[in-house]
Structure 1
């Protein structure tokens, strides 16, 4: 297992597969690289895919300290540095999409193109999940809370026809303190002011039936990021990329191919 070392000495486990131009895949809150297990193969033919275990998860170190989405973005840069990757396409989903916003805004030379999936700008401008969603996830019965999360991730039809494994429900071995640190980082995310600084081709993808991270956040991102377009997946919930794999992966791959053909992609920061 390869490791990168962050600026503060934390070891970050990462994984590489496939061949072609570099593509960083960023998972959701409190999840490891296994978030991508069901669909990673879709990208490996044309891309060298790079994932990591967030600090606090998987095989990475788990310091008990304040985490932030901006700090997670710095961790991604540490992984790219360790691999010698100067620039990559970035596909971030859920909290990974929040991290990707900072990555593209604060490290523009490292990002060629950007896909933001089922995510939010955070802060006072964002649309938050409703109180009924928070109550369902906060149930004391672990089985009931897990079922509530499953129903936020996937449609009833999908759950009725599949038995898993479900790769989007969090790292089961994650310490409780690290889960709290991840929740804090995601809740405190606010990239609103820096979104106009993102100067690479950007695709925003969201399921229309996402209540975990309301779909109303997607148009906010598109309006705020100068070179962004919107792709809504009808009927999809939070884990649109998993359940609606054929639609979602095809849309993302088509966008990445188009972005690679734009010679100024990743170089227009400050010139638009």
Structure 2
């Protein structure tokens, strides 16, 4: 069984999608997938599924939904060896090999990439990890309050992986091919300093220094208007370096940068 939560929630058994009849079935499986092999209390599941107005007997309804979900997975599966939803002391857990959950596979690939000395190989692993994403976590479902950490931490990890990827691409001298992608990404995430730095550097190296300066000014105005703060010192220094056409900004490792540990 494969559980996909980096996008619309999906379950595949033997490569075949399993139809989950109700939204609550999908959310339960998505939550348990994020917490794979860890028990999630009934209270927490109820809070996540019905944050505003739980049913009159929420534990009974939750139990019913889990029974339905188990039955669907059992019918679609191939016997007792299939991963399963088990009942714990005060909740439920999805017993499944963690690589069968795309979010956990993503996390492991990111760890692997950061341990690779070769920029070329690290780039390939980072792209492999990011290709697992088919859309927002859990299909865009985002619980309010503290429960939102379920999805926000994964979304933040994705942005960090994107930043890692583009920094590798810049080291490899691929500034022209990524500049326009970075313009859109940095505009969508104005609080991410690493994305802003990356797009400024990519534009400058691609001979588009005026656009790099414009990106900085747009970000400075946004930060001042929305958050009442100035750009970080590192961004300010980069801005000055772009204005001065500092030759150090043009230094790239190039495609021969195979080993950062050398």
User: Which structure ranks higher in relative contact order (CA pairs < 8 Å, sequence separation ≥ 6)?
Assistant: 1
Superposed pair shares fold, TM > 0.5: no
Give the helix-richer structure, 1 or 2.
2
